[in-house]
Amino acid sequence: MALGGNAIRGSRIGAGPTGEAARGESAPRTHVSFWCANGHETRPSFAREAEVPESWDCTRCGLPAGMERDNPPEPPRTAPYKTHLAYVRERRTDADGEAILAEALAKLRGEL
């Protein structure tokens, strides 16, 4: 099939007119700069009457960003992955583990 001159590109059949005339006028906007700990600037736009949030997620690295360039929010601390055994070791001492193992073995042997 040859690329003809009557191809409709970027729209679907039956779609109405696009642009501000079809949707109505946009609300007056304001751009606000947010800065993350990596120094990236994000500039989302807000309606002038809208309340601007104190923080915004950086679109480049995902860290939280604030409106102060020299004092951005701290990156969130992520705890390393812990295995089930690591959580058990936090709650029990080696002596506790030995006692639980001895009790379980005694049950299996029919001594209890």
pLDDT string in tens for the chain (112-residue length): 455 556 556 666 666 666 556 667 778 999 999 999 999 999 999 999 999 999 999 999 999 999 999 999 998 888 889 999 888 888 988 899 899 999 999 999 987 6
Helix/strand/coil for 96: helix
List Cβ neighbours of 29 (8 Å cut-off, separation of 6 or more).
Answer: 45, 46, 47, 48
Question: How many whole angstroms separate alpha carbon 112 and alpha carbon 63?
Answer: 56
Helix/strand/coil for 95: helix
Domain residue ranges in the chain: 27-66, 79-112
Please report, as a single letter, which amino acid is at residue 9.
R
Pick the CATH number of 27-66 from 2.120.10.30, 2.20.28.270, 3.40.50.80, 3.20.20.100: 2.20.28.270
| pLDDT given for residue 12 in this prediction | 66
| pLDDT given for residue 85 in this prediction | 87
